Amino acid sequence: MTRQEILSELKKVIAPYTTNKEMLAGIDDQTDLIKDLKINSANLVDIIIDAEAKYDIEIDYDSADKMVNVGTCIDVISEKLSEKI
């Protein structure tokens, strides 16, 4: 999967957890999930769980801890997908 494909799918995963739909439409690698999208830490856990289900991967605690902006989310998902091959 390309970064763009992961980003496209990740938007769908994030959408239910943010009220800032305008910001969601223009997210990029630098978009901070908490500061920019106003996602609280409990919902951040939900996003990680949803991403695991969506991509059929397992995200360990250390990797989840890095997932604070869109770029690192894509990096972690990409890394976990490549481990499955």
Could you tell me the CATH number of the domain that includes residue 31?
1.10.1200.10
Q: Is the dihedral of CA 72, 22, 51, 42 positive or negative?
A: positive
**40: pLDDT strictly greater than 80:** yes
Contact 13, 57 (CB under 8 A): no
Here the tokens at position 58 are: 């397992």
**85: pLDDT strictly greater than 80:** no
Mean pLDDT over 29-39 rounds to 94
The parent domain of residue 8 ranges over 3-84
Tell me the pLDDT tens digit for each residue of 66-75: 999 999 999 9
In the prediction, which pLDDT does 20 show?
A: 85
- Residues 6+ away with beta carbon under 8 Å from 27: 7, 11, 14, 36, 37, 70
**Domain count across the chain:** 1
Mean pLDDT over 33-60 rounds to 94
Helix (H), strand (E) at residue 44 = helix 41-55
